[in-house]
């Protein structure tokens, strides 16, 4: 408390109040301190006395008879009003001002908290939407996986394993073909890494032609469908160049013969 009073006394508000240079808010604050703290009241009385002393020291004696002339002139034109000491603001006005300030501060605090809650609520809602989207996506993937497993477990599905030759010893890929439902799926297990200008391609072989069934990517190791080819004699995997050379059997690295129904 002593530190608070010291800070107030050093702020210069008492001096400004004494000469009428304070705002309404500052006046309320000063009068509150004067009424509440004897130290401030004593300092205020001392300042008043000092002001009177300074005024007397700097006063210039008026010529003889000046006062009578001034009074006579003012009586003819205006009324002389005696100066009074400013009335202090009643305690209830101070209390009302403090209450209003407290209410304003409390309202502002509530507004800030409400704003933060709205912001947090928006974040939670966005996260819930993202979570719901992820759940729906995962459910869709699980459904696809369940369908794929159902196809693999179908008694009519036939399993074929590709094994690489000398050019791709570590190659291993599995094909699942269902001649009854006319579906084909392939599962890339391992594909040896190739130079950037080369890639793996899978083909359906017929008596007189080869049909491209798509590219196999070593980074895409998952079960995926491929076109079903009726009456195909075999499936083969080749290494192709991106320069557009015509595919040939010399490029073949794995082959499976299909069972005839």
Tens of pLDDT along 23-46? 888 888 889 888 988 888 888 888
Cα(69)–Cα(58) distance, rounded to whole angstroms? 23
For residue 176, give the 3-state DSSP assignment. strand
Q: CA torsion 250→256→260→261, rounded to 10°?
A: -140
Q: How many CA atoms lie within 13 A of 176 on its CB side?
A: 19
What pLDDT is attached to residue 189? 87
Range 161-174 average pLDDT? 88
Strands, DSSP E only, in the chain? 158-163, 172-178, 183-190, 198-205, 210-216, 223-226, 234-241, 252-257
Predicted confidence band of residue 206 (pLDDT cuts 50, 70, 90): very high
Numbers of helices and strands, H then E, in the chain = 6, 8
H or E element, residue 49: helix 38-57
First-to-last C-alpha distance (Å) of the chain: 102
* Structure tokens, 142: 């699980």
Cα(152)–Cα(200) distance, rounded to whole angstroms? 24
For CA atoms 26, 27, 29, 33, the dihedral sign is positive
Residue 184 pLDDT > 70, yes or no?
Answer: yes
Cα(237)–Cα(49) distance, rounded to whole angstroms? 110
**pLDDT tens readout for residues 54-89:** 555 455 555 556 556 656 666 655 554 554 555 555
Predicted confidence band of residue 208 (pLDDT cuts 50, 70, 90): confident
CB atoms within 10 A of CB 41: 13
């Amino acid at each position: 408390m002593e530190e608070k009073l010291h800070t107030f006394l050093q702020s210069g508000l008492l001096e400004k109040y004494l000469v009428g240079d304070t705002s309404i808010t500052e006046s309320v604050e000063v009068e509150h301190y004067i009424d509440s703290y004897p130290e401030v009241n004593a300092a205020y009385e001392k300042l008043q006395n000092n002001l009177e002393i300074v005024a007397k020291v700097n006063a210039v004696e008026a010529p003889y008879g000046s006062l009578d002339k001034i009074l006579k002139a003012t009586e003819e034109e205006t009324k002389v009003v005696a100066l009074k000491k400013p009335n202090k603001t009643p305690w209830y006005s101070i209390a009302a001002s403090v209450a209003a300030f407290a209410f304003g501060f409390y309202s502002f605090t509530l507004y800030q908290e409400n704003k933060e809650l709205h912001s947090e609520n928006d974040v939670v809602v966005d996260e819930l939407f993202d979570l719901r989207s992820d759940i729906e996506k995962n459910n869709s993937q699980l459904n696809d996986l369940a369908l794929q497993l159902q196809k693999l477990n179908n008694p009519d599905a036939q399993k074929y394993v590709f094994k690489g030759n000398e050019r791709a010893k570590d190659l291993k890929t599995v094909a699942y073909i269902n001649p009854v439902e006319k579906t084909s799926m392939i599962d890339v297990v391992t594909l040896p890494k190739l130079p950037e200008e080369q890639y793996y391609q899978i083909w359906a072989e017929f008596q007189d032609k080869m049909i491209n069934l798509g590219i196999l990517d070593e980074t895409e190791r998952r079960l995926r469908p491929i076109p079903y080819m009726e009456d195909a004699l075999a499936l083969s995997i080749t290494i192709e160049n991106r320069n557009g050379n015509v595919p040939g059997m010399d490029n073949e690295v794995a082959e499976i013969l299909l069972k005839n129904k």
